[in-house]
Amino acid sequence: MRRRSPWPRSLAGQAIALQILVIAVIVLAGSALAVYDARRDGDAAAEAQVLGIATTLADSPSTAEAIESGRATEILQPVTELVRNQTDIAFITIMAPDRTRYTHTDPAQIGGDYLGSIEPALQGRTFTEVYTGTLGPSVRAVAPVYDSERRVIGLVAAGILQQSLAQRWRSQLPVIAAIGVGALAISMLGVGYPSSPVAPDPGSAPGGTARHVRPSRRDPAFGVGGADRARRFRGRGGQRRGAPIVVAPGR
């Protein structure tokens, strides 16, 4: 027994099915692009955030003073934790040029070696990277801390976990999905709504053919009345110009 094809056989049905298919593909492609843009924008925003935090702390005179005082952990750990909680990032680590941590989200990690790249910052350049540290993969920025003579005496690293970034852009998925479903529903209504019948031409018969309109007696396109003909054929002196006078027999 042959299975019946789900594709409509009539031309009208095939046209509607093709429209629905094209609309669905367009909506799905638009939704996928919106998700990609949300993720890309989220990564860019996170990078800008950690870059701003690391630079601000590194440029603060109190950071350099705390490092030079020999009490960096005592002074800076409360500050970094306050900033971290207010900005909702994963960690802020202030360290010595040899990677020794002065601060960390996990106090047990203080005194240990920082995991990640520091060479560009030691050369005086602030940079960003993706690196897997003690808390997991993260987007992080590292900035140098200078003393009064512009020597690098410390480094500030701030980072956001990639897991947190994924949660941020995934929170936008319901909105994107709702917009996509709404666009698809509106498009389906447009496809399924019947077209309004075309009003017949007032000069057409019910069958669509033109009605015969009887010409007016005075319509110049179809003829003239008797009096008009007489006037047109008579010239001066009661006869037509340039034509012989014909006398009817029997009169």
Bridge partners of 93, per DSSP, are: 157
According to the model, what pLDDT value does residue 221 have? Answer: 47
Average pLDDT over the chain reads: 77
Cβ neighbors of 76 (< 8 A, separation 6 or more) are 63, 66, 67, 94, 102, 103
Residue with tokens 């002196």: 237
Q: Residue 61's pLDDT is what?
A: 96
Residues 6+ apart with CB under 8 A from 141: 47, 50, 51, 53, 54, 55, 126, 127, 128, 157, 158, 159
Burial per residue of 48-63, b for 16 or more beta-carbon CB atoms within 10 angstroms, e otherwise: ebbbebbbebbeeeeb
What whole-number distance in Å separates Cα of residue 144 and Cα of residue 162? Answer: 24
Are 57 and 63 in contact by the 8 Å Cβ rule? The answer is: yes
Local structure of 85: helix, strand or coil: helix
The confidence score (pLDDT) of residue 4 equals: 60
Assign 112 to helix, strand or coil: coil
pTM of the model: 0.58
The closest of 107, 101, 132 to 117, measured between CA atoms, is: 132
Residues 42-60 pLDDT 10s:
788 889 999 999 999 999 9
* DSSP code for 109: G
Positions in the chain short of pLDDT 70: 1-9, 12-13, 166-173, 184, 187-188, 190-251
Kindly list the structural domains of the chain, giving each domain's residue range(s) and its CATH number in brackets, ordered by start: 17-170 (3.30.450.20)
Dig out the tokens for 166 from the structure.
């994924």
Q: pLDDT value at position 196?
A: 46
Query: Quick one: pLDDT at residue 191?
Result: 61
Q: Are 90 and 135 in contact (CB under 8 A)?
A: yes
Whole-number pLDDT of residue 168: 66
Residue 138: predicted pLDDT = 86
Residue 201: the pLDDT is 52
Q: Summarize pLDDT for 136-182 with one digit per residue, the tens.
A: 888 999 999 999 999 999 999 999 998 877 666 666 667 777 777 77
